[in-house]
A and B are shown apart, each in its own frame.
Chain A
Amino acid sequence: MTSTQANHPLLRVDNLRIEIPGRRGTLVAVDDISFHIDEGEVLGVVGESGAGKSLTGSAVIGLLEPPCRIAGGEIHFDGRRIDNLPYEQLRRIRGRHVGMVFQDPLTSLNPLYTVGRQLTETILTHNDLSEKGARKRALELLREVGIPAAERRIDQYPHEFSGGMRQRVVIALALCANPRLVIADEPTTALDVSIQAQIITLLKRLCRDHGAAVMLVTHDMGVIAETADRVAVMYAGRIVEVGPVAEVVLRAKHPYTVGLMGSIPLVGHDVERLTQIDGAMPRLDAIPPGCAFNPRCPRAFEPCLRERPELLTVGPVEAACWLHGGTSGGGGGHD
């Protein structure tokens, strides 16, 4: 495990671009983003709805739904390029090497099959086991994700499980084949607040136990702060800031990240109103020139309107903002 780490990260995404062709021209949903995930690492991906987080996750696993398509860039998994693989070869990577957990556990499971059948089916797809062995493994997994009375529950249908329990089953399904990367696409958004923490803790513990890295897509900054090792902040299809979670949470560099952090209410502090970032993220067909965040940015200045900033190293993090370095603006040397 560590030997590969020295050479290349587990997942490397270079200049990924996702387009949505439509009648009135092509929309760019994800624009030229690059990031990596190391072996065993938890990368949080945050951003508003429509920022391109989920599309990025789907693209990595090769499940972009038409008409969305990868229009450029490369995705490397364990040193091997996977974005141009034929469907059948990509399928062998899915589930076995890259697991996925979706947002809504109520709709992620096929209602017509028992939980056990869906587990054994997945186990048998990826492992050379007998029916009996697969069932034994399914039972182990159900116990591991904390489903009480697994022997009885294994023969029940998804509708007989509560939402939290179903998400546990979904996690068990994602971990069936001991994947090295788990893409969790808003795994707690559809759950009761009281269940969310349990599921996140479970996901984190299991992935650590199984040695799996996690790409945790969410818009919940609190979840990221608790769980992730590093965090990537996305805005309008681009990564605006990426770095170690403590740095990004405590000393955010990009005004958008600052705004995101500022909008988390703190328990014990009385505030009149919750802080919010004014305005809304631009529609994909109306992204302004320059920095996409400039209409909402409290600190926007002249170069922001003219030229789009690239990700630049700012101390321990990288941020795409003219306030931090950049040659064309006068904001260099700030901080």
Chain B
Amino acid sequence: MIAFVVRRLLQSILVLLAVGFIAFSLFTYVGDPINNMVGQDTTLAQRAELRERLGLDDPFVVQYGRFLLNAAQGDFGISYRHRRPVAQLIAERVPATLELSLVAAALALFIGVPMGVYTGLHRRGFLSQVFLALSLIGISLPTFLIGILLILVFGVLSQDINAAIGFHLVPQLPTFGRGDTVQLGWWSTGFLTESGLLALILPSITLALFQMTLIMRLVRSEMLEVLRTDYIKFARARGLSNRAVNFGHALKNTLVPVITITGLQLGSIIAFALITEQVFQWPGMGLLFIQAISEVDIPVMAAYLMLVGFFFVVINLVVDLLYYVVDPRLRADKAVAAGHQ
């Protein structure tokens, strides 16, 4: 088990190195950062000098090596645009992204799984058909469009709608930024203020909707699959209660694929939060990254990509470990060998 974790950690480092290598090889093509840093009257000689000082005239492999050397010592460089250490910039932005992502993931799980179970158990029920039809919307609408529609309804038109129908149906919700935050050490949280919580609603729904519908459809199809198996029929034949059969026996058997997908999705929620962050001007890493791209702020881009790669790797490791918790067939290789002599 420990050997497995160590092996996976070593593989993770390789993955991260590869991510960085690809990132740096692409930076050559994203534009010239110097243009954004200097005025129009800067001479060519001055530009060349700045370029040399920043090491931008080196081949990308050399730049990458230098980045790795510094990163290993905890130094991710200085942002060209903000002229502050990148580590500091990202540390300020990480809480916003992680809080948004976690709320979205929780929404997706705690709504998606029960809906999946329900639609799996009541295959032909009216409510199931409604859920399935709605899930098509969630699957097919792009995130930014959902965000903009939510802003339109709950931000722009809510007063008009309420006035038109005569009572207060659509609440007015914040559509911009994080609201008030509270500083806990270096972590700034929006969970502790009312405006912070309200501000989370629309972005987290936007971010969660796709994942929620994906999880719902996945759980549903897995449930349908498992409910057909012999051991479910046998569990019923043993006279177990519906609850024990459906949740104890069936749901648990759907968990391995659900954990896989949820884990991967959590990674992409964090990574693709940048679209939602852009739409809602959420002050997270994604927004920082998008700004960095337009400014060709290479140190910020490099650190962000490495960080997202790191999240993915860690989440995948956790997913692999969860398999062992859920499915005894994976952890008992040795016992099988012993059992059959």
Contact, CB under 8 Å: B230 / A107: yes
Chain B residues with Cβ below 8 Å from A104 are: 230
Q: Which residues of A contact B335 (CB under 8 A)?
A: 156, 160
Chain A residue nearest to B340 (CB atoms) is A162
Q: How far is the CA of A162 from the CA of B234 in the complex (A)?
A: 18
B240 within 8 A of A: yes
A91 within 8 A of B: yes
Does B238 lie within 8 Å of A112, measured CB to CB?
Answer: no
Binds A, one of B85-93, B304-312, B323-331: B323-331
Q: A102-B230, A159-B336 are in contact. Are A110 and B238 (CB under 8 A)?
A: no
A134-176: which residues lie under 8 A (CB-CB) from chain B? 156-157, 159-162, 170, 173-174, 176
Closest Cβ of chain A: how far from B327's Cβ, in Å? 6
Q: Indicate if the CB atoms of A159 and B329 lie closer than 8 Å.
A: yes
Whether B239 is near chain A, meaning CB under 8 Å from some CB there, is yes
Q: B107 at the A/B interface (Cβ < 8 Å)?
A: no
Contact, CB under 8 Å: B237 / A112: no
Q: Does A330 sit at the interface, judged by CB under 8 A?
A: no
Is A125 touching B332 in the complex (CB atoms < 8 A)?
no
B181-216 contacts to A (CB < 8 Å): none
CA of A317 to CA of B72, assembled, Å: 89
Which residues of the other chain, A, contact B332 by a CB distance below 8 angstroms? 157, 159-160
Nearest CB in chain B to that of A87: its residue: B242
Contact A125 B234 (CB under 8 A): no
Contact at A95–B234, with CB atoms within 8 Å? no
Residues 90-127 of chain A, each 1 if its beta carbon lies under 8 Å from chain B, else 0: 01111110011011100111111110000001100110
Number of interface residues of B (CB under 8 A): 28
> What residues of B have a CB within 8 angstroms of the CB of A93 in the complex?
239
B339 interface neighbour in A94, A107, A160, Cβ under 8 Å: A160
Distance in Å: Cβ of B334 to nearest Cβ of chain A: 11
Nearest chain B CB to A92 CB, angstrom units: 7
A281 contacts the other chain (Cβ, under 8 Å)? no
Option from A113, A157, A160, A176 in Cβ contact (under 8 Å) with B238: A176
A95 with B329: CB separation less than 8 A: no
A112 touches B239 (CB 8 A): no
Beyond A100-B234, A102-B234, A160-B339, whether A111 also contacts B239 by CB under 8 A is no
Tell yes or no: B132 within 8 A of A by CB: no
Contact B231 A121 (CB under 8 A): no
Answer yes or no: B159 CB below 8 A from chain A CBs: no
B328/A126 in contact, CB under 8 A:
no
Q: B239 and A110: CB pair below 8 A?
A: no
Q: Which of B31-74 contact A (CB under 8 A)?
A: none
The answer to whether A173 and B253 have CB atoms under 8 Å apart is no
A58 CB → nearest B CB, Å: 8
| B228-247 at interface with A (beta carbon < 8 Å) | 228-231, 233-242, 244
Looking across the interface, which residue of chain A has its beta carbon closest to that of B237? Answer: A100
A170 to B235, CA, bound (A): 11
Q: How many residues of A contact B (CB 8 A)?
A: 38
B residues less than 8 Å from A96 (CB atoms):
239
Chain A residues with Cβ under 8 A from B81's Cβ?
Answer: none
Q: Does B249 contact A (CB under 8 A)?
A: yes
Which residues from chain A contact B249 at a C-beta distance below 8 Å?
Answer: 110, 113
- Which residue in chain B gives the minimum CB-CB distance to A111? B329
Does B252 sit at the interface, judged by CB under 8 A?
yes
With A92-B239, A125-B239, A177-B239 as known contacts, state yes or no: A108 contacts B234, CB within 8 Å: yes
A292 at interface by CB-CB < 8 Å = no
Which residues of chain B are near A91, meaning CB under 8 Å?
236, 239, 241-242
Report the bound CA distance from A314 to B246 in whole Å. Answer: 49
* B230–A121 touching, CB < 8 Å: no
Contact B326 A112 (CB under 8 A): yes
Partner pick for B244 among A92, A99, A125, A177, CB 8 A cutoff: A125
Closest to A117 in B: B248
**B176: min CB distance to chain A, Å:** 47
Docked pose: A61 CA to B237 CA in angstroms: 7
Taking CB atoms, residues of chain A closer than 8 Å to B234 are 100, 102, 108-109, 170, 173
Taking the nearest CB of chain B, how far is it from the CB of A69, in angstroms? 15
Judge whether B229 and A107 touch: CB under 8 Å: yes
CB distance from A190 to the nearest CB of B (A): 10
Chain A residues near B339 (CB-CB < 8 A): 156, 160-161
A63, CB-defined interface residue at 8 Å: yes
The 10 listed contacts between A and B (C-beta, < 8 Å) are A94-B238, A95-B238, A99-B237, A102-B234, A111-B328, A112-B326, A112-B327, A159-B329, A159-B336, A173-B238
